[in-house]
């Protein structure tokens, strides 16, 4: 069983490594610690490369927290089993709604860790399904772009628009364009407070919209602060975009 330890505190990672060494080779399948991460983002990068069976994941970490990291890990194939390790008990519902295998409170005891690993041994190849609408963790702060054995995280603050492109969605961001395997409908639902639909195949970051430009043929285009390109606004969505601009004064 390959395990990835994630905690922003070095002493916590050291304790987990020691407990795993004591447990390994006894009642649980041989345990191999394949890596350690100090943040959610680092955990995602290592998980994409090392493909652990289990990720021990702290929840409260700077940047990408453990709940968001778990939701990104859901998309990995095969998905690792997630065991949350935390000093706080107030995230248990969100953790289990993200389909965590177990939720361990610090200080972690060897017997509880062993039980969690035994669960993971039978469930580690199961697909984890993110239930974001009810998880209470809020929308993601990064978009995860996966390649062959690699992973890239695009801050949501850098995204200009999402555009449906056949079975993929293209993400236009400040440094270029990438493709992700997600649906535009799901993205619209998750990021409803930050993006507005301007066309049947496009969502645009509301914070970047500065105005509308009307063409001679009656069509309307968006003016954006982040780029020179001016996406077209469909007639169906024009009233909503106008209202958004008017509400800003």
The continuous run of DSSP H or E covering 58 comes out as none
The continuous run of DSSP H or E covering 84 comes out as strand 81-86
Of 166, 145, 167, which is closest to residue 154 (Cα–Cα)?
145
Instruction: Tell the residue number behind the tokens 């295998």, with chain if given.
Output: 101
CA dist 136 and 120 (Å) reads 24
- State CA 198 to chain mean position distance: 24
pLDDT at 129: 41
Instruction: Characterise 149 by phi-psi region: left (phi > 0), alpha (psi -120 to 50), beta (else).
Output: left
| Residue 176, beta-bridge partner list | 173
Q: For the domain 2-134, what is the CATH code? A: 3.40.50.2300
Positions of the chain with pLDDT under 70: 25-29, 89-99, 122-138, 147-151, 249
Whole-number Cα distances in Å, 94 to 99, 103, 142: 9, 10, 18
- Phi/psi for 172 (5° steps) reads -90, 120
pLDDT at 93: 54
DSSP state of 234: P
Residue 227 makes CB contacts below 8 A (sequence gap 6+) with: 160, 172
Judged by DSSP in three states, 167 sits in: coil
- The domain locations on the chain are 2-134, 142-247
- Fold equal for 2-134 and 142-247: no
Sheet with 220-224: list strands edge to edge.
209-214, 220-224, 232-233
Q: For the domain 142-247, what is the CATH code? A: 2.40.50.1020
Whole-number Cα distances in Å, 205 to 77, 154, 182, 215, 245: 30, 14, 17, 22, 12
Of 55, 78, 57, which is closest to residue 66 (Cα–Cα)?
57
pLDDT at 90: 62
pLDDT at 146: 72
pTM of the model as a whole:
0.58
Please count the other Cβ atoms lying within 10 Å of the Cβ belonging to residue 88: 12
Please count the other Cβ atoms lying within 10 Å of the Cβ belonging to residue 127: 11
| Residue 28, beta-bridge partner list | 24
Residue-wise pLDDT for 175-225, tens only, equals 999 999 888 998 999 999 999 999 999 999 999 999 999 988 889 999 999
Contact 168, 181 (CB under 8 A): yes
pLDDT at 25: 54
pLDDT at 98: 54
């Amino acid at each position: 069983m390959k395990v990835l330890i994630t905690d922003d505190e070095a002493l916590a990672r050291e304790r987990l490594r020691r407990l795993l060494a004591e447990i390994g080779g006894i009642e649980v399948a041989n345990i191999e610690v394949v890596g350690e991460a100090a943040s959610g983002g680092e955990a995602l990068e290592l998980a994409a490369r090392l493909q652990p069976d289990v990720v021990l994941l702290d929840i409260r970490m700077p940047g990408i927290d453990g709940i968001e990291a778990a939701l990104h890990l859901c998309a990995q194939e095969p998905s690792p089993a997630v065991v949350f390790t935390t000093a706080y008990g107030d995230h248990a519902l969100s953790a289990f709604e993200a389909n965590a295998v177990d939720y361990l409170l610090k200080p972690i005891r060897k017997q509880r860790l062993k039980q969690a690993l035994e669960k993971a041994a039978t469930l580690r190849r199961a697909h984890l399904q993110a239930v974001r609408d009810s998880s209470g963790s809020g929308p993601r702060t990064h978009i995860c772009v996966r390649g062959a054995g690699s992973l890239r995280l695009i801050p949501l603050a850098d995204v200009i628009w999402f555009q449906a492109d056949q079975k993929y969605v293209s993400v236009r961001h400040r440094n270029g364009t990438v493709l992700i395997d997600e649906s535009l409908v799901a993205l619209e639902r998750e990021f409803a407070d930050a993006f507005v639909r301007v066309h049947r195949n496009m969502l645009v970051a509301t914070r970047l919209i500065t105005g509308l430009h009307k063409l001679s043929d009656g069509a309307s285009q968006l003016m954006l602060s982040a780029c020179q390109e001016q996406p077209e606004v469909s007639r169906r969505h024009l009233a909503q975009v106008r209202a958004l601009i008017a509400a800003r004064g």
